Homo-oligomer: A and B are copies of this chain.
Amino acid sequence: MLSDASEQELTQRETELAARFVEIKARGLRLNMARGKPSLEQLDLAGPMLDLPGNNNFRDAEGTDCRSYGNIDGLPEMKQFFSGILNCPTENVIIGGNSSLAMMHDSLLRAYIWGVPGGDAPWQEQGTIRFLCPSPGYDRHFKITELFGFELPPVDMTEQGPNMDQVESLASNPSVKGIWCVPRYSNPTGVTYSEDVIQRLAQMQTAPDFRIIWDNAYAEHHLVSRSTPLGDILAACNAAGHPERVLMFASTSKMSFAGGGVAAMAASNPNIADARTKIGVRTIGPDKLNQLRQLQFFRDLSGLRAHMREHARVLKPKFELVQEILRRELGGKHIARWSNPDGGYFVSLDVPDGCARQVIAVAKEAGVTLTPAGATFPHGLDPNDRNIRIAPTFPAPEEIRSAMEVLALCVELVAIRQRRAT
């Protein structure tokens, strides 16, 4: 254990690690653990979709010609498909383009310019707007609200979801207009929000135009056969008398092709009606041929789930490898803590405070690229300089093994150097 080690023991270990580091550096590795994107094997699983819908096969179940304009909020079957993923009535679903992030961006932009159903005024007329950022979280979420100029109070992440004492306290201020949530296999911590967190999010006192951005990006992305169930936030908000509070999102990008999938949002009827009206001014309609393609390939929720079990077959050994190396190299040393998620795309690694930036820099020197330090916090600033996001989905197992060995070595080396310096 680092804290019990003598100065002599520390010196000796640092010398060993530094020697290994020199050796590794000489190998000229080029490894990347930063990319939260599907592996080629996962993409190959959807290969047959590249031939779809096929010539003369352009009508959906209702006979709609998907080659022409229309269906501003998507094909009925596609809405049904997403109602299964998002666990809500079909009528509450709007299908978008290829990007759920764009749907979130646009939802917040509409709130900013025109306000939301049940709100008193557009956010742009309400002075400083604050948006809660459970952290570590998803950098692209935070960047949207940064672009809009909102203040971004961070909220701690716990094993159950965001720290609800902090959330409740902050959300009672009417300038706080929402919170970013990845409720299942949260990016990067892997946490699935508990029922208690969901109930408190639904019930807490907020401004009437407060919105939970419920990005269920990993709704079907399990690594285990029996996954933790996720509570029903829409029902909870309804029961709490706050039916307009939540906007839910999902997409098939990480189920079919990254950037070539279909995105959807779901919310209460007034929220959906408001969104539909404004989306209908922005565009004549979404790409229905890609909706048809996805429907033909997945068929239904059960087909999708079978497909995602194939994804798990590819991903599970990669995630297990990350655990194996971290346990072997850092286990019992009390230097670092890491998540062991049941799904999603990331492992979250916490190193000693003040070390993350240095670990990432040293790993880079040895040829291993990691997500930039701080990326998982608003404005890219990790106040404790502690969190590192590991993305094991894309690299091949042998690359993961090498990269994780380098990373573990860098963690220990930087931790010892910090220890000796203090």
Chain A residues within CB distance 8 Å of chain B: 37-38, 40, 43, 46-48, 50-58, 65-70, 97-99, 101-102, 105-106, 109, 112-113, 124, 140, 143-144, 147-148, 257-260, 278, 281-290
Contacts and interface: CB of A to CB of B under 8 A. Distances in A.
Contacts of A55: 47-48, 50-51
A305 to B, nearest CB: 21
A70 B162 CA distance: 30
A308 B106 CA distance: 34
A286 B43 contact: no
Nearest to A256: B67
B258 A67 contact: yes
A147 B289 contact: no
7 contacts: A38-B68, A50-B289, A69-B258, A99-B285, A101-B282, A112-B113, A290-B290
Contacts of A144: 281-282
Given A259-B286, A260-B289, A147 B97 contact: no
Contacts of A54: 50-51
Given A55-B50, A68-B259, A102 B283 contact: yes
A43 B68 contact: yes
Contact of A143 (B124, B281, B286): B281
A283 B278 CA distance: 19
Given A50-B56, A67-B258, 6 more contacts: A43-B58, A67-B257, A98-B283, A102-B283, A259-B289, A290-B290
Contacts of A48: 55
A51 B257 CA distance: 17
Nearest to A100: B283
A286 B97 CA distance: 9
A296 to B, nearest CB: 11
Contact of A105 (B37, B102, B259, B281): B281
A284 B253 CA distance: 11
A98 B97 contact: yes
Contacts of A284: 99, 101, 140, 258-259
A209 to B, nearest CB: 18
A147 B114 CA distance: 9
Most interface-central of A37, A67, A143, A286 (chain B CB within 10 A) = A67
B37 A287 contact: no
A73 to B, nearest CB: 13
A284 B217 CA distance: 14
Nearest to A260: B289
Contacts of A278: 147
Contacts of A58: 43, 50
A54 B53 CA distance: 10
B68 A287 contact: no
Nearest to A262: B287
Contacts of A287: 97-98, 259-260, 287, 290
Contacts of A99: 282-285
B50 A57 contact: yes
A259 B284 CA distance: 7
Nearest to A114: B147
A37 B67 CA distance: 10
Contact of A37 (B69, B143, B258): B69
Contacts of A70: 259
The 6 nearest A-B residue pairs measured at CB: A99-B283, A67-B257, A260-B289, A98-B287, A102-B283, A105-B282
Contacts of A105: 281-283
B285 A68 contact: no
Given A55-B50, A147-B281, A290-B290, A260 B97 contact: no
Most interface-central of A65, A68, A99, A258 (chain B CB within 10 A) = A68
